[in-house]
Structure 1
């Protein structure tokens, strides 16, 4: 394994800082949602009283700081390095849930957090060097490849179906509906964040990227995706404890780590049966 580039190291540090803030924001926002739900209509029932709760806003500001760091990390390091490090936020959430929400993380949650840490470290150690991008137009060319366009169209067709058909019917009883919306939009958000991050990095270096319409398209798209995800994440988290949230995220990331490890090790040795 070669040494990590300076850009990858910068991205790594920013991603870790992001995990600290985002992990903290989950619990602070959860406390705000609980306080708001005690005096008004709960977010899970369609209420927005949490907008008047200082704890929720504190959590939101903390999340914004974390997302800014995450945003900057994508400008320096490949997505395969930055995205898995988001799993570290689970560990911070679990610790803060214990101290702020007075919740106990059971043994499976602890194991999940450890596996998240191991999986994240493994991916970081094998993170590839990123191709050099000279203009946001290059990102646009990649984003307009037939394969990605087909995928984006499928996602943008499924999300409205989930929002208008399944949220009213099953949103209160099946959290997978909210998770589906956030996950589908999140897969596109990563691409948009990467593009805007690169545009800002190049602009600060003297190559203004905001003269291109592509930069503004990606910016508006990222804002829209983030607002949509925040809305449905609030509805999902309102019905769960910090411990449950951490455990569920741990389980999801553990699956991803397992798939990665299987893929990474399948060609090692070269003596196995074909």
Structure 2
């Protein structure tokens, strides 16, 4: 295979990875809405999942949503085998757009004007990254990936991640795990960056095997598989702890920012994505990433707000309050927002049910 043929193959791989990443976002975004519809149907005829019920397991629509999510995750895994992580990982934000748009159209959940702006920013940022993303490195064997993973720079990153995770798990989790959201999310994000690198290595091995170059004979393939399993189990364990302890509206954006940033950093160190780019391309990619982060933040902080044409707001004790849902101001009986109407700016870090009342 000549140099020109190899370059064309690499370019084609980038296109395949892009299509797989976009498909993944579409499937995963849709899965949330389908599963929510299934949960609503199950809750109407049985015990709701929120209060410990499992009637949703008998609801076909919930299983359709679950299968849709699995298909999306498989597509995301395959995308890493074809395209660099700096291209694939940020595109995960598009699943939020799909979910928000479908929730607005199907579930009749109002999408705030700032939420629409957030969607536009995510699309602009994603387009910027896609147009300036580096080409995937040509890899002919899993041994090539192993050599990249055992270079001093990545080994230093690996040791730093393991050291920080151990300190967080054994020192900070017992003392601050239930009060500081960054502890659990930090563990998830650090392990997540390693899981993506392992998934990419394993995906490349499986892709080469399917193409006829068997990589399952190499022990490095199985080492990557074991590292992936360990990282994913640890990551999911502490992500569940974070979601159970803190408000989802707080966990989700922080996790997305940290996970995506650390994954891109790990990919830059291991696969040297930026070595094949000039400073202008790198700065443009960073601007695209910041744009996606801004859009994601807007989507999260406005997802519980009503339509922009809803009743006007006043400020009472520092809390925005809808006039239409309050007593007459002159009566002196103006109430604080109820639990279901708590403004996004005042979302508590801790879940309401995680506080212990003596």
User: Which TM-score tier does this pair reach, normalised by the shorter chain?
Assistant: 0.7 to 0.9
SS of 1:5's equivalent in the other structure is helix
| Counterpart selection for 1:204 from 210, 215, 227 | 210
| Counterpart selection for 1:223 from 218, 222, 229 | 229
Counterpart Cα distance in 1 of 2:285 and 2:214: 42
User: Retained in 2: the 8 A contact 1:91–1:246?
Assistant: no
- State the aligned residue count: 251
* 2:318 corresponds to: none
Counterpart Cα distance in 2 of 1:25 and 1:249: 22
| Counterpart selection for 2:201 from 192, 195, 198 | 195
Counterpart Cα distance in 1 of 2:250 and 2:96: 8
* 2:253 corresponds to: 248
Q: Deviations over 1:162-186 (max 9, x none)?
A: 2333334333333222221111111
Query: What's the CA shift for 1:187?
Result: 1.3
Query: What's the CA shift for 1:92?
Result: 2.2
The structure-2 alpha-carbon separation of the partners of 1:7 and 1:233, relative to structure 1 and needing over 3 Å to count, comes to same
Counterpart Cα distance in 1 of 2:120 and 2:26: 16
The unaligned stretches of length 5 or more in structure 2 are 1-6, 262-279, 287-358
Give 1:179-190 correspondences, 5 Å limit.
Answer: 179-190=185-196
Deviates more, 1:158-167 or 1:137-146: 158-167
User: Retained in 1: the 8 A contact 2:132–2:284?
Assistant: no
Query: What's the CA shift for 1:115?
Result: 1.7
* 1:122 corresponds to: 128
- CA RMSD, aligned part only? 3.9
Q: 1:90 and 2:96 equivalent?
A: yes
Give 1:8-27 correspondences, 5 Å limit.
Answer: 8-25=14-31
Higher normalized contact order (CA 8 Å, seq sep 6+, divided by chain length)? 1
User: Retained in 1: the 8 A contact 2:149–2:155?
Assistant: yes
Counterpart Cα distance in 1 of 2:231 and 2:241: 16
* 1:73 corresponds to: 79
SS of 2:178's equivalent in the other structure is coil
Q: Deviations over 1:220-266 (max 9, x none)?
A: 1112222222233333344435xx3698269839x97xxx9882399
The unaligned stretches of length 5 or more in structure 1 are 41-48, 267-274
**TM-score between the two structures when normalised by the length of structure 1:** 0.74
Query: What's the CA shift for 1:62?
Result: 4.0
SS of 1:191's equivalent in the other structure is helix
Q: Which has the larger radius of gyration?
A: 2
* 1:38 corresponds to: 51
* 1:264 corresponds to: 284
The structure-2 alpha-carbon separation of the partners of 1:106 and 1:248, relative to structure 1 and needing over 3 Å to count, comes to farther
User: Retained in 1: the 8 A contact 2:17–2:81?
Assistant: yes
The structure-2 alpha-carbon separation of the partners of 1:37 and 1:231, relative to structure 1 and needing over 3 Å to count, comes to farther
Deviates more, 1:16-25 or 1:69-78: 16-25
| Counterpart selection for 1:235 from 238, 241, 258 | 241
Counterpart Cα distance in 2 of 1:135 and 1:151: 23
**TM-score between the two structures when normalised by the length of structure 2:** 0.58
The structure-2 alpha-carbon separation of the partners of 1:25 and 1:168, relative to structure 1 and needing over 3 Å to count, comes to farther
User: Retained in 2: the 8 A contact 1:25–1:62?
Assistant: yes
Q: 1:154 and 2:182 equivalent?
A: no
Query: What's the CA shift for 1:67?
Result: 1.9
